[in-house]
Amino acid sequence: MKKSVVLYKKLSAPLMARLHEQAEVTLIESLDESGLAKLREALPAARGLLGASLRLDAKLLDLAPNLEAVASVSVGVDNYDIDYLTQRGILLSNTPDVLTETTADTGFALILATARRVVELANMVRAGNWNQNIGPLHFGSDVHGKTLGIIGMGRIGEALAQRGHFGFGMPVIYHSHSPKPAVEQRFNAEYRSLPDLLQQADFVCLTLPLTAETEGLIGAEEFALMGPETIFINISRGKVVDEPALIEALQQRTIRAAGLDVFVREPLGHDSSLLRLNNVVATPHIGSATHETREAMATCAVDNLLAALAGEKPKNLVNPTAWKH
Ligand code: NAP
């Protein structure tokens, strides 16, 4: 008998066909109130779950007593109660690697957009306000040759370092749990303590996961260590940053600008002060959002889920201690 699988993310036709061949599929089209009600109804029979952007806590998981595997269509796993999943022996998988380069591209798009004021000045042109040759009031700052500071030297951090070092001749400094000799050799990068990095980098880029340890890592004290020319880039998770402290630093111009792909509350509320600041470039969590990469992520998630439901170890198992075979 086919196992019951609940999707809370729409997949391409070929991937849907693959899943239908091997499982009984329930698709939750959106995570609005009626979608969530449909999800709750489907959970009791579910053996597998696949999706993203939903907080899967113990309360929701308790509605799924037969659950064997959860395949997240993301690399970040901050939406999952991993301890509880592990305790229940439910295999959690994610989609690393396939989104690394695209997310680093997004990071670099934000670096260029903030430094050269691309969005602000393009909006000026669109509004019909380009009335004379621009002068120093509209100048940006250089990217090439400036110091790139990367906090979280993992897959995405490394891909960002590659772009900065080889593409833009930027000295790279970084902070991670531990030094990375291979990265240092490849990109001539140097390890720094967090305070040193914040003081020395022209671009401070966050590429670490949201965990209990990183929540609120960058707050008022950290922004105070940055200089008035520093540009702050966040492509990790919104909650790694104390958002009111960031807003204060941007409003007071104690830092120059911010390029933000992630926020404490997503979608970003219309009342957010970030929307009223010219020195902010805000994108709607588009880190991995290209056709090619999203399809690769979905394929990876389907592979992980089908492997787990077939009793095989998924390639990207997040909680290996849940593996009992
Ligand atoms: P990764 O390879 O696991 O890299 C994360 C790095 O962060 C690791 O090198 C780790 O250092 C470092 N780190 C973790 N906690 C730290 C701490 N407290 N202090 C300093 N460094 C710390 O992960 P990845 O694939 O690069 O992805 C990173 C994150 O990016 C994801 O978790 C996700 O939240 C985010 N992301 C966002 C988007 C988007 O759409 N904006 C897309 C993809 C990913 P060690 O190696 O020394 O332990």
Residues touching ligand 1 (Cβ under 6 Å) are 75-76, 96, 99-100, 103, 152-157, 175-178, 207-210, 213-214, 235-237, 261-262, 285, 287-288
Count CB atoms within 10 A of the CB of residue 37.
Answer: 11
Q: Tally helices (H) and strands (E) across the chain.
A: 13, 12
Q: Please name the residue that has the structure tokens 């001749």.
A: 169
Q: What is the CATH number of the domain that holds 12?
A: 3.40.50.720
What is the whole-number distance in angstroms between the Cα of residue 154 and the centre of ligand 1?
A: 6
Torsion angles phi and psi, residue 122, rounded to 5: -65, -40
d(CA 75, CA 99): 8
What is the whole-number distance in angstroms between the Cα of residue 155 and the centre of ligand 1?
A: 7
19 & 167 share domain: no
Catalytic residue among 117, 163, 175, 285: 285
Closest CA to 83 of 120, 56, 102, 110: 56
188 & 170 share domain: yes
165 & 259 share domain: yes
91 & 106 share domain: no
Query: In the chain, how many domains are there?
Result: 2
Reading the block at residue 318, the tokens are 């997040």
124 & 251 share domain: yes
130 & 230 share domain: yes
What is the whole-number distance in angstroms between the Cα of residue 232 and the centre of ligand 1?
A: 17
Give me the tens of pLDDT residue by residue for the chain, a chain 325 residues long: 899 999 999 999 999 999 999 999 999 999 999 999 999 999 999 999 999 999 999 999 999 999 999 999 999 999 999 999 999 999 999 999 999 999 999 999 999 999 999 999 999 999 999 999 999 999 999 999 999 999 999 999 999 999 999 999 999 999 999 999 999 999 999 999 999 999 999 999 999 999 999 999 999 999 999 999 999 999 999 999 999 999 999 999 999 999 999 999 999 999 999 999 999 999 999 999 999 999 999 999 999 999 999 999 999 999 999 998 7
16 & 77 share domain: yes
Give this prediction's pTM: 0.97
35 vs 32, 38, 40, 54, 172, CA distance in Å?
Answer: 5, 5, 9, 12, 45
d(CA 23, CA 82): 25
59 & 133 share domain: no
62 & 181 share domain: no
C-beta of residue 281 within 8 angstroms of C-beta of residue 258:
yes
181 & 57 share domain: no
215 is catalytic: no
Domain that holds residue 226: 100-282
What is the whole-number distance in angstroms between the Cα of residue 76 and the centre of ligand 1?
A: 8
177 is catalytic: no
What is the DSSP annotation of 105-151?
HHHHHHHHHHHTTHHHHHHHHHTT---S---GGG-----TTSPEEEE
291 is catalytic: no
114 & 75 share domain: no
